[in-house]
Amino acid sequence: MAGQLKEVRNRIKSVQNTQQITKAMKMVSAAKLRKAQDTIIQMRPYAKKLQEVLSNIVSSSEGDTPIKLAEVRPAEKVLFIVITSDRGLCGAYNANVIKLTKLTIAEQYEEQNKKGNVTIWNIGKKGFESLLKQGYKTDETYKDIFLHLSFPNVQAAAQAAMKAFENNEFDVIEIVYSEFKNAATQRFAVERFLPIPKVTPAATAKKSNTDFIFEPQKETLIAELMPKILNTQLYKAVLDANASEHGARMTAMDKASENANELLKSLKISYNRARQAAITTELTEIVSGAAALQG
């Protein structure tokens, strides 16, 4: 009986120690989330408007000088830029990004994958480790971006992708990431990076065509503006993923702390029952001993 009480006490202590860790991690993630959330909320309208401008320019340039980054080719060689986190303990966040990547490859690029023509550039260690183990053709060049998250580091990845597309190393480039909604909600998305998508006919019908006046010359402006907008597009996706990671971890640690509370309640009830049984047994033994002496 004494051994059972000691075992329950040890379990209670272990759960309490774990709960302290989960609460601390929740507080750290909450602090990081506030900063990441402010950054992406400020960035999103700017990036969205730039993307609209870029799509309109590409659509209005049909028939003019061809734009290399908007060139639509048969999708023989495909690149995925997959954005996950460096660390775990964030619920199903990383698993959902990886699952969406595999699903997209299976549904849209199965033939290319069988030929070995699907390449994955990982941003974040978790995605790299998982996809490498599962036999996908991965590249670790940019997996450590989150160690020093900054625009220049993301820009280097975006420029490398643009150069590879221009050199016909890839025909299609997709970004797989998690779009931040709030601390408890993320939207996992696949977004076309290259070739630059044109404005769809449905979108064009909803609003009148924008007649841009270019200064300086259209070709010069496009050559300067297009890479900057694409850099911003990838940076926005990385910031979205960063905020999503902290939100997912905060939610996961909050749930873990709640589960620890429930487990502690159950263990304390078990401890009290075992202690009561031990006291009852001791009293019974004392009474039995006293009765034997009297007899």
pLDDT of res. 62? 60
E runs forming strands in the chain: 78-83, 118-123, 137-139, 172-182, 185-194
| C-alpha span between 189 and 155 (Å, rounded) | 21
Structure tokens at 262: 């429930």
What are the beta bridge partners of residue 191?
175
Omega before 216 within 30 of 0, i.e. cis: yes
> Position 52: which residue type?
E
Distance CA 206, CA 33 (A): 36
**Preceding omega of 201 cis (within 30 degrees of 0):** no
What is the reported pLDDT for 64? 60
pLDDT for the residue 224? 80
Mean pLDDT by 10 residues, the chain (295 residues): 79 93 94 93 88 74 70 93 94 95 96 95 96 94 93 95 95 96 91 81 50 70 84 94 95 94 91 83 80 74
Enumerate the β-bridge partners of residue 83: 123
Give the per-residue pLDDT at 65: 58
Distance, CA of 1 to CA of 3 (rounded, Å): 5
- What is the full DSSP assignment across 137-149? EEE-TTTTGGGG-
Q: What angle do CA 24, 26, 30 make, to 5 degrees?
A: 120
In angstroms, what CA-CA distances link 63 with 58, 67, 260?
10, 10, 64
Give me the sheet containing 185-194, strands edge to edge: 137-139, 118-123, 78-83, 172-182, 185-194
Q: Which fold has domain 42-253?
A: Pyruvate Kinase; Chain: A, domain 1 (3.40.1380)
User: What integer pLDDT is reported at residue 37 of this predicted model?
Assistant: 92
Positive or negative, the CA dihedral 249, 251, 252, 257 is: positive
The residues annotated with a catalytic role in the active site are 90
**CA 212 – CA 209 distance, rounded (Å):** 9
Q: Where in the chain are the domains?
A: 42-253
Determine the pLDDT at residue 204. Answer: 47
Burial 19-39 (b: 16+ CB within 10 A, else e): beebeebbeebbebbeebbeb
- The secondary element (H helix, E strand) that includes residue 48 is helix 2-60
